[in-house]
Structure formats: structure tokens, C-alpha cells
Chains A and B, each alone.
Chain A
Amino acid sequence: MWRHARHNTVVIDGDRRCAASMAQNRLSMLAVFFISAYLLIGIRLLDLGIVQTLDFRADISDTGAEGVAVKEIAARRGDMYDRNGFLVATSLKTPSLFVDPHLVLDAKALSNDLAKVLPDFDKLKAVKIMSAKNRFGWLAYDITPKQQQAILEIGDPSLGFKYNYKRIYPQGSLFAHLVGYADRDGLGLSGVERSFDDILARGDDVDLSLDLRLQHAVKREVSKAMTDFNAKAGVGLVLDAKTGELLSGVSLPDFDLNVVSVAKDNQKFNRLTLGVYELGSMFKIFSTAALLELRKVSMGKTFDARKPIKVGWFTIRDYHAQKRFLTVAEVFMHSSNIGTALMAKMVGSKALKDFYKDLGLLDRLRFDIKEVGRPITPKQDVWREDSTMTISYGHGISVSPLQMSAAVASIVNGGISVQPTLIKRGEGYHPKSEMRIISEKTSEKMRKLLRLVVNKGTGKNANVDGIAIGGKTGTAEKSVNGRYSKDKLISSFVGAFPIDNPEYIVMVMVDEPKGNKSSYGYATAGWVAAPAVKRIVNSMVSILGIPTDRYNPASDISLDLMSYVHDKDKRHKKGRTLASYE
């Protein structure tokens, strides 16, 4: 078209020509610019409208099934599961009811209506909230879906709901002290809820080492022991002897995690890890192990247990005095205080203290919850001889039941220190650092001694058909107002099975049991705690499917020690076996 126009153009020369051609140049540059811009837009339009539309269609049919990320309103606290994937703690979205006082027409009528729907609804308080000058007031927290429906049916425009997450513990009181609880704002206040707060708060789940089924069995048997013997409190636990996983931990009395506000201090107190107790003769396990490991004595070495020994102002006696020289095996089997004290003297104060320290009995236990008690031990840097001798049989040293079990696990599992944990370990887990406490050989000797106690000695009542269980009783007098009380006892039993290669440590402790008819009036460990351990092991057999046809009484490992046992065992009447004594 420009060609036709050009015929009519006036030709201009000189300076003006220069200006005109410049204008023409600028115009054509602009034209080129616009043309290319429109071209670009056109091409892009074609590309988007036709080419990519086809691609888009293909895309939809390709990725139609892809998952959609669902955004959550607020950060939801992580769940907790037991080792088999059963739900232990979860957070559910629950509505809470609020009122806008500005919109309330008849405060009295409205609160009457609400009182019909909500149990324990405080009408007076509600009227006060509804007639306040502000524009917001809470009426009820965490109401159920049914209640919410009923309130919606009232249809009052001044009411409204806000949603937040409420912590729910479907197992109620079963894991009270270990799982712990969180407050309304989702801040962990005790147990794993507190110690793993940062992990749970970011929404990650926690897999616990605990086993729901075992936990129930342990709780059932400990509470049975408590009712049978009219006891004040009780503790029961099952520990994996190799990995240190706590499979079950019960502290009674306990409380329902869903209604923490009504729990009493006595119920909230964690006796498993926070409470420290004089556990008595169980310490003979460690004193004997120290003797065998450090002084390399033979099982046949004898100690003079003919008469009580005086140490300072204190006299060490035996509950059931044998009044003769006892071999190491006999001292352990009869739980002789005198014999053990003499053994400790032979080991020496420093060596015994170092040995206890290696076992972790003198320091606060490192554990996955923060409620852990510090052991009570003599203050001196070097234990006096009398302290050493009494500590050797568990007199004058207090530790928590879990700490005790972990130390026993370290002794029987081949001598490797066990670090208890509440978090599930994967298959084939190996601890990062392995600290050897005693040699494999000493560990084997100790296993034989522990089996001897259950097979022939004070722990007979813990014997389970078809399972070789080893263990040790511990009966201690409680200190009341600085004096030891004869009738207030702490009776406990720690067992390990199968004893030739222990996988589980089972411990029961009963606080202030009273003797009954079935125990011939005795409230000692052999009568109170040992049968409870037996019942727990029986339950474990069926729950975990532990075969009971592998044990052969003829090849019992404790029979190796019988040559060191010189009992004239006729003195004991039927029913009153050695188990009646500590």
C-alpha cells in the first residue's frame, strides 16, 4: 500500500529532507516493533489456545489419579503407637462453644436451653458471660458431635463453634506414667508427651517400645498382687534384656490420662522411674557378680555365716540363719546377708563402688522421659566398711525399679551394659556403644545362680512350667521416721528368662503388702512378688508365643551348682519352703 502512496509524495530536499527521512525511519521502527509484538502475542495465543490445550488434555488423563496434598488448618500433634501399631495417643478435632454476648437476646432462656444439652453446665456463670460487655466468651470446651448437633438445633445466632485439637488417650490409664499428658494448648507436661514434645509438636508420630498386650497383663497381675496382699502401691515391668526396650512399665495406683485434673498426687507419682526404693537382697546379684568377676573365686569358696556379725553399731543377721559355713552358691540361694557382707568385704569398698557405678546404680538413669529419680547412696567419696557391707545386700542404697532391672539385664545378657529406652528399635538393632561390665563367663555363672534361686531357693514361687526362669527376691524393711519398720516391707522379685540366653527381664515390686492366708501370713518377696512374676511370664508365653517344650528339667543349668549346695533340706515343712524367707 505504501508503494501507491509514494507516487503522491512531495520530495523534499536539504535539511528538511533529513528530518523527514528521520521521521520515516522512526515510524517504520515503531511499525516493526508493533508488528513483531502483535506477532509474538499471536503466536503465543496460538500456542496456548491450540498447541498446549492438546497437551493439557493429555496431562489430565495422565495424572488424574495423583494424590492431593491436604492442608490442615492448624498443626496437629503427632500420634503415639505401641510397638505393634496400636494407637496409644492421638489428637482429634473437637468443637468448643463460644458466645457473642452482643447478640444474646435472652441470656437466661439460652443458658437454660444449653443446660439441657450439656451436663455439668454452670448456668449462673453462663449468664454472667452472656451479659458481659465484650463480644466473645467461652461457654464449653471440647463438646461431643452429638452435643454440637443439639446446640445447632437450638439455633441461637449468638452461639458459635471454634475447632481445636484435643488429645485423646484411647487406652485410658494403661500407659499413664510413661506416655504422660499434654495441656490444652498441646504442650507436653509429663512422660513422653513432655520429653518428645518437639517431635510430636511438629506433627511426627512416635513408635513406642511398649507392648499394649503385655502392659495389660502386667497391670492385671500387679494389681492382683496389690489386692491380694492389701498393698499400698505396686510396680511391674518387662524389659528386653538385649536392646533395653521397655516392653511394659506399670506404676500403680495410676490415673486416666483423659481426665488428669481429677488425679491425686499419689496416682500421678511415677514409681517406676521417679521413685527410688531400698530393694534389698536384689543387690546380692551385683555383689556376687563383683566377687566372681574381680576376685575370681570359685563357687565353692565358703563364708562363715554361723553367727550374726557386728559392724559398728549395726548387726547383720540372716532371715533364715543356716548357722554354718556357706558356699557362694548357698549364700546366694539362701539370700544370706552375712555371707554377702563378707563377700563385699573381700571385694573391697572401692572396687564394689566402682562396680555399682559401672552398672549405673549410683547415678541418675538416662531415660526417655524426664521423671527419673536420683538414687540415694552414701555420701562419702569412699564408702566406709560398714556401708559397703550393708549396701552389698541392698541396705542403705535406694534405686528406681527400672534402674534395678537395667542393671540385672546387664549382668545376665552376657555382661553388656543395657540402656533402657521407650522408643521402638528396628529389627536387628545394635546399640552404638557397647560397654562390657562383666565377662561372658561371669554372666553365665550368674545365670546359673539366678536359676538356682528359682529352682531350689527363695524364688520357688516364680517357677513356670516349661520355662527356665531365673531370678532373685528382695524384701526390704521400709524406713519410717528414720527407723526400719518390721511390718512395712517392700517386696520385689526380678526374673530373667529363658535363663540360658535371657531375652526378657520381668520385675514386680509391691509396697507394704500384708500377709494373707495363702502366704501363711508372710508378706515377703517369695510370697508376694515371685507369684506375680510367674503369672506375668505365663501371660507372656501365650501373648508372645514363647514355646514351653524346650526346657528340660534334667539339663537345668542350675544343676551344675548342686555340688556346692550342702542342704540338709528336711527342716522345712510342706508349704513353708525357703520362699517364706527373704
Chain B
Amino acid sequence: MIRSFLKYFIVFALLVFSGWNLMNVSMKVQKMESDVAVLDKKIAKEQEKIRVLNAEWAYLNNPERLEAAAALALGLKATKGEAVISKVDAIPEYVPDYEVNADGGETSSSISISYGYRQVGARQ
């Protein structure tokens, strides 16, 4: 009698525990869903901000503006046609102004080659 009561009690306890656990999970899910909704909103807001920034970036990169700015601030001009050549060997070697510093530390400044323009501003 006691043994069978114990059996039923265990089953009942298990069921109660399971029910409690289920409710727990369900609450968690609800909480998470509301978190996701908040994050979704945040993401949408950030994406909208990014869109505004992209538009602003495109506006600031307007070639007309850049050309004027480069001429004004950097003294840059458009490359001349003869500067564009197909054979790299035809370029005379770059000779830096100094080879070794007085204190013997640093060597020549490096040449930086820019392939920039085609990649800059490419779509995100």
C-alpha cells in the first residue's frame, strides 16, 4: 500500500516538476521574444542610421566637391595621360632622399601605392 502510494507520489511529483519547468520555459520564451522584438527595432533603427550615413557619405564623395576640395586643400590635379602606362619596368626606380638616418636607425621612407578609388565607397 505504502509502496504503491510512493509510486503514485513520485509520478505526481514528477508531473508537478515538469509542469513547473514547462511554465518556466514558457516564461523565458516570452521574455526572449520581447527581447528579440526590442533588438529588431534597434537593428532597424541602426540600419536606418546606416542608410542616412551612406547617403551622407555618397554626398560628401560627390566628385565635384572632392575635386574642388582636393585642389584647395591638397593642391592635387588630375593625372596626366602620359602617366598611365602598361609596362611597370618603364617607371624609373624611386630614389629616396636619404638612405640611412644619422643615428643609423631608420631606412628610406616607403613608397605607397594606392589602388584606392575603385574600392572606396563600394557597396556595404
Q: Of all chain A residues, which has the CB nearest B123?
A: A85
Cβ contact of A170, chosen from B40, B59, B90, B123, cutoff 8 A: B59
With A53-B25, A68-B36, A84-B122 already in contact, the answer to whether A538 and B81 are too (CB < 8 A) is yes
Partner of A549 from the list B55, B58, B59, B85 (CB cut-off 8 Å) is B85
Once A90-B51, A90-B54, A92-B51 are accepted as A-B contacts, the answer to whether A547 and B86 lie under 8 Å apart by CB is yes
The secondary-structure label for the interface of chain B is: helix
Chain A nearest Cβ from B86, distance in angstroms: 4
**Cα distance A46–B13 when bound, in Å?**
11
Enumerate A206-227 residues with CB–CB distance to B below 8 Å: 212-213, 216, 220
Convert B48-72 into 0s and 1s, putting 1 for each residue whose CB lies closer than 8 angstroms to a CB of A: 1001101111110111100100000
Cβ-based interface call for A187 (8 A): no
CB-based contact B20/A70 at 8 Å: no
Q: Point out the residues of chain B lying under 8 angstroms from A71, CB to CB.
A: 40, 44
Of A189-197, A305-313, A463-471, the one contacting chain B is: A463-471
Bitwise, A389-422 to B at CB < 8 A (1) or not (0) is 0000000000000000000000000000000000
A56-B25, A81-B123, A465-B81 known; A70 and B44 CB under 8 Å?
yes
Q: With A45-B22, A48-B22 known to touch, is A546 a contact of B51 (CB < 8 Å)?
A: no
**Partner pick for B64 among A81, A216, A549, CB 8 A cutoff:** A216
With A68-B43, A70-B47 already in contact, the answer to whether A541 and B63 are too (CB < 8 A) is: no
Q: Shortest beta-carbon distance, B71 to chain A, in Å?
A: 12
On whether the beta carbons of B86 and A212 are closer than 8 Å, the reply is: no
Residue B74 at the A interface, CB < 8 A? no
CB neighbours of A464 from chain B (8 A):
81
Taking a contact as CB atoms under 8 Å apart, the answer to whether A465 and B25 are in contact is no
The answer to the question of B3 belonging to the interface, with a C-beta cut-off of 8 Å to chain A, is no
A57 to nearest B CB, angstroms? 9
Most buried by B among A68, A87, A171, A466: A87
Whether the pair B62, A90 counts as a contact (CB closer than 8 A) is no
Q: Is the CB of A168 within 8 A of B55?
A: yes
**Interface pair A465/B82, CB less than 8 Å apart:** yes
Q: Judging by beta carbons under 8 Å apart, are B11 and A42 in contact?
A: yes
B48, A93: Cβ atoms closer than 8 Å: yes
Cα–Cα distance between A50 and B11 once the two chains are bound (Å): 14
Out of A68, A92, A93, A541, which one reaches B40, CB within 8 Å?
Answer: A68
List the A side residues contacting B113 at CB < 8 Å.
none
Q: How far is the CB of B99 from chain A (nearest CB, A)?
A: 31
What is the predominant secondary structure among interface residues of chain A facing chain B?
mixed
Cα of A549 to Cα of B80 in the assembled complex, Å: 13
Contacts of B39 on A, CB cut-off 8 Å? 68
Contact yes or no, B67 A216, CB < 8 A: yes
B112 at the interface (CB under 8 A from A): no
Question: Contacts A56-B25, A170-B59; is A50 near B64 (CB within 8 Å)?
Answer: no
Contact, CB under 8 Å: A45 / B19 = yes
Contacts A45-B22, A46-B15, A542-B79 known; A72 to B44 CB distance under 8 Å? yes
Question: A50 and B82 in contact (CB under 8 A), knowing A68-B43, A92-B55, A168-B55?
Answer: no
Closest to A214 in B: B63
**Which of chain A's residues have a CB closer than 8 A to the CB of B9?**
none
A174 CA to B67 CA in the complex, in Å? 14
Residues of B within 8 Å of A81, CB to CB, are: 123
User: Is residue A348 within 8 Å, beta carbon to beta carbon, of the partner chain?
Assistant: no
Given the complex of chains A and B, what is the CA–CA distance between A326 and B11 in angstroms? 113
Please determine whether B84 and A548 come into contact, CB atoms closer than 8 angstroms: yes
**Knowing A49-B21, A465-B81, A542-B79 touch, does A86 contact B58 (C-beta < 8 A)?**
yes
Q: List 19 A-B contacts (CB under 8 A).
A: A48-B22, A49-B19, A53-B21, A53-B25, A56-B25, A68-B40, A70-B44, A87-B57, A90-B54, A90-B58, A168-B55, A170-B59, A172-B62, A216-B67, A542-B81, A542-B83, A547-B86, A548-B82, A548-B85
Which 8 A-B pairs rank lowest in CB-CB distance, beginning with the nearest?
A49-B18, A547-B86, A170-B58, A542-B79, A216-B63, A87-B58, A85-B123, A49-B22
Q: Which residues of B contact A (CB under 8 A)?
A: 11, 14-15, 17-22, 25, 36, 39-40, 43-44, 47-48, 51-52, 54-59, 61-64, 67, 78-87, 90, 117-118, 121-123
Known: A45-B22, A86-B61, A90-B55. 10 other contacts (CB 8 A): A46-B15, A53-B21, A68-B40, A85-B122, A87-B55, A87-B57, A92-B52, A171-B59, A216-B67, A549-B87
